[in-house]
Amino acid sequence: MHKVLSAAVDSNLLSSESFIDECCQNNLDYSTTYDQKIYDFRAPPSKHLAVICCMDARLDVFRMLGLKPGEAHIIRNGGGRIRDAVRSLICSQTLLQTKEVMIIHHTDCGFTYFSSNEQVLAALKLQPGTNTGEVSLFKTLTGQTNPNDVPDFQPIKDLEQSVRDDLLEYKQYPMLNQNVTVRGFLYDTKTGILKEIK
């Protein structure tokens, strides 16, 4: 928890120079060797795999799984939770024919630093420009909001259990293909090894 709150405060001390400018320059360098053939035709991922994993910037999912561009859909969100991935995964399965799903959570995940939604909201209040007032943070699929809803940031208390919870939650979405292989894993950030969770 302390690491996350410190990071929230430290972000306010950053210089006014934007790293986005550096990224744009890097893009110009990239474009000089860019091979457009990968976009010559629209195709589903060649391995028909969708991977749901955390947005943690330290995770190099392609190298971790030995994937190449064009082989899999990588759907990332905070904690690698199925709930936040549903819309993208429906499109992946329906429009682009993915037939296997890997759900990957990892050790040293930022979502393990919080034990409750209240702690997340407390950290949000430290961020200038954020409002934790009366407006509901999350809309339903129909676009309705309920100001009395308590947002669920899905803090993780037990990593293996969070994977099991997501495997069970997958089954709660009838628009997701229930006839495909869905497996859950825990990635150890100290060893680089995936452990399957059943």
Per-residue tokens: 50:
């969708």
91 is in an annotated binding site: no
54 is in an annotated binding site: yes
Q: Of 164, 173, 184, which is closest to residue 101 (Cα–Cα)?
A: 184
Q: Of 98, 132, 134, 139, which is closest to residue 117 (Cα–Cα)?
A: 132
Those residues whose C-beta lies under 8 Å from the C-beta of residue 166, and which sit 6 or more positions away, are 52, 80, 81, 82, 83, 103, 105, 184
Whether residue 55 contacts residue 77, with contact meaning beta carbons closer than 8 Å, is answered with yes
24 is in an annotated binding site: no
109 is in an annotated binding site: yes
Q: Pick out the residues of the known binding site for Zn(2+).
A: 54, 56, 106, 109
- Binding site: residue ranges? 54, 56, 106, 109
